[in-house]
Amino acid sequence: MRPIYLFSISSHPDAISINSLDITFFKPDIDFSNYDALIITSKQASKALQQYKKEEYIHLPALCVSVQSAKSYEDLGGEVLDIGGGYGDNLVDKIQSNPKTKKWLYLRAKTVASDFVKLCQNDGYSIDEVVVYESDCSQAIRDIEVDANAILIFTSPSSVKCYLKEHHFSKNQHIIVIGKTTAKALPKDINYTLSDKTSIDSCIAIAKEQFLN
Overall average pLDDT of the 116-131 stretch: 97
Distance CA(200)–CA(152), nearest Å, equals 12
Of 17 and 135, the structure prediction assigns the larger pLDDT to 17
pLDDT of residue 50: 98
Rounded CA-CA distance 118/104 in Å is 13
Q: Using CA atoms, how far apart are residues 17 and 10, in angstroms rounded to an integer?
A: 8
- What is the predicted pLDDT for the residue at 161? 94
Residue 28: burial class (beta carbons within 10 Å; 0-12, 13-18, 19+):
exposed
Whether pTM > 0.85 for this model: the answer is no
Task: For the chain, give the percent of residues with pLDDT over 90.
Answer: 85
Question: Does 145 have pLDDT greater than 80?
Answer: yes
pLDDT digits (tens, 9 = 90+) for 68-85: 899 999 999 999 999 998
Structure confidence at residue 114 (pLDDT): 83
The pLDDT score that the predictor gives to residue 89 is: 79
Which of 202, 207, 205 lies closest to 192, judged by CA?
207
- Convert the pLDDT of each residue in 21-31 to its tens digit: 999 999 999 99
Q: Is 13 exposed, middle or buried (0-12, 13-18, 19+ CB in 10 A)?
A: exposed
Question: What pLDDT sits at residue 212?
Answer: 86
Query: Which pLDDT belongs to residue 90?
Result: 83
CA distance 8 to 140: 11
Which pLDDT belongs to residue 130? 98
Q: Give the chain as a 3 state SS string.
A: CCCEEEEECCCCCCCEEEECEEEEECCCCCCHHHCCEEEECCHHHHHHHCCCCHHHHCCCCEEECCHHHHHHHHCCCCCEEEECCCCHHHHHHHHHCCCCCCEEEEEEECCCCCCHHHHHHHCCCEEEEEEEEEEEECHHHHHCCCCCCCEEEECCHHHHHHHHHHCCCCCCCEEEECCHHHHHCCCCCCCCEECCCCCHHHHHHHHHHHHCC
pLDDT in tens, 13-62: 999 999 999 999 999 999 999 999 999 999 999 999 999 999 999 999 99
Contacts of 3 (CB under 8 A, 6+ apart): 16, 147, 150, 151
Q: What is the pLDDT of residue 198?
A: 85
